[in-house]
Amino acid sequence: MTIHDVARHAGVGSMTVSRVIRGAGNVSAGMREKVEASVRVLNYQVNVAARATRSRSSAARVGILYSNPSASYLSEIMVGGLEQSSRLASHLMLERCEGLAGQKQAVKRLLAAGVDGVILPPPLCDSRQTINMLRAEGVTVLALATARPMIDVSSVRIDDFEGALAMTRHLIALGHRDIAFIKGDPQHTPTELRYEGFLAGMSEAGLTVRPDWVAQGLFTYRSGLAAAEKLFEARLRPSAIFASNDDMAAAALAVAHGRQIAVPRDLTICGFDDTAVATTVWPEVTTIHQPIAEMGRAAVRLIVDEIRARKTGGDPAPVHHLLPFTLMERDSSGPAPP
């Protein structure tokens, strides 16, 4: 089943079929319809390999460079990324690195494989050093799920501030007024924004934030254990704990369980990110869902566009794409006790 079979079936030239399937312009409506009908009838599918040989510019090679911490995102990124990549006839590569030395090696491997662009999930998305290393080799870079996009680097993300604000409003709507917060690692970009979103939500409801109800965490489970213990040692016990990621929310859940505090009857706990652990623990954690698959799709689309523009001599401006998040209401949250 080739382009020529479709052309014969539709009674047009092969070039017209090529134009239609590529979505190129310069095709009359009548021709387009005939071709599209034939494509449907014959169940034609482009041969991406053949396409790639001829149109060098289409065969963009895109790498995803990740380090351990973001592994939980990875499969979801791949779901969207692979789909988009096969649609664009681009090639997707996965490369893992750890530490700075490992990073340099990984960049070398990617270059040897001929990458044109690299997508960086967290936390590498916020490493100026990594970005510069890649750019020095002429590689196009895109930051995925970063909280603070750099003005000169294309990004795909959700709004962390708005996410935290939405969660805080949700808790307040459930009747909670005594809300504690577990902050994330000060080194990571989402930390500040999520905390500010929380403060904004409290403030707009006229609620105060007690200093002993704010605990410092590091986004790890272990830090969540310590933070939760600290919160429970406060003079008054909050009716809800908003942890700024799911790992720490899961830890808070474990601590509550150990203290025989029933969740959500006596205490509401919620997180952020909707990673695997949120649905692993029990009760499952109410959290802010990042549309990671969608973000992977968008990332591949944007970076391939940018690569193509660059190959044809252009100097495309960075694109910043903001996607909507979703508040996932699960069993770890409930109305405030009377």
Partner DNA sequence: CTGAAAGCGCTTACAG
28 contact choice in a second copy, DNA, none (CB below 5 to 8 Å, kind-dependent): DNA
| Residue 132 engages a second copy in binding (rule: CB under 8 A) | no
Which one, of 289, 272, 285, lies nearest residue 324 by Cα?
289
Q: What is the CA radius of gyration of the chain?
A: 24
CB of 58 to DNA, least distance (A): 6
**Does residue number 41 form part of the binding site for a second copy (CB under 8 A)?**
no
255 binds a second copy per the rule CB under 8 A: yes
| CA-wise closest residue to 190 among 240, 130, 245 | 245
Nearer to a second copy by C-beta: 77 or 179?
77
DSSP alpha helix (H) spans, 120-259: 128-136, 160-173, 189-204, 221-232, 246-258
In one-letter notation, the amino acid at residue 198 is F
C-alpha 93/C-alpha 116 separation (Å) is 11
Q: Does 23 bind DNA (CB under 7 A)?
A: no
Distance of CA 49 to the CA centre of its chain: 29
Contact pattern for a second copy over residues 263 through 302, marking x by CB under 8 A: -------------xx--xxx--------------------
Choice from 40, 56, 128, 235 touching DNA (CB under 7 A):
56
Is residue 303 within a helix (H) or strand (E), and if so which, with residue range?
helix 292-311
Using CB atoms within 10 A of its CB, is residue 73 exposed (0-12), middle (13-18) or buried (19+)?
A: buried
- Looking at residue 42, its amino acid is L
Residue 83 binds which entry of DNA, a second copy, none, CB below 5-8 Å type-dependent: a second copy
22 binds DNA (CB under 7 A): yes
Contact flag: residue 250 with DNA (CB under 7 A): no
Q: Which residue, 50 or 173, is less far from DNA as judged by CB?
A: 50
Q: How far is the CB of 330 from a second copy (least distance, A)?
A: 13
257 binds a second copy (CB under 8 A): yes
Instruction: Look at residues 275, 250, 247 and name the one whose alpha carbon lies nearest to residue 77.
Output: 275
Does the protein bind DNA through residue 260 (CB under 7 A)?
Answer: no
Q: How far apart (Å, rounded) are the C-alpha atoms in residues 181 and 193?
A: 13
Among 89-97, 145-153, 156-164, 195-203, the segment contacting a second copy (CB under 8 A): 89-97
Q: Which stretch binds DNA (CB under 7 A): 50-58, 121-129, 245-253, 256-264?
A: 50-58
Residue 57 contacts which entry, a second copy, DNA, none (Cβ below 5-8 A, type-dependent)? DNA
41 burial via Cβ count (<10 Å: 0-12, 13-18, 19+): exposed
Whole-angstrom Cα distance, residue 184 to residue 270? 14
Say which residue the tokens 């006839």 belong to.
89
**Tokens (6 digits) for 139:** 């590689």
Q: In 3-state terms, what secondary structure has residue 318? A: coil
75, 129, 187, 203: which one contacts a second copy (CB under 8 A)?
75
Binding site for a second copy (CB under 8 A): 43, 45, 47-50, 52-53, 59, 71-72, 74-76, 78-79, 82-83, 86, 89, 91-94, 96, 112-114, 220-222, 225, 247, 250-251, 253-255, 257-260, 276-277, 280-282
Binding site for DNA (CB under 7 A): 2-4, 12-16, 18-19, 21-22, 25-28, 30-31, 46-47, 50-51, 53-58
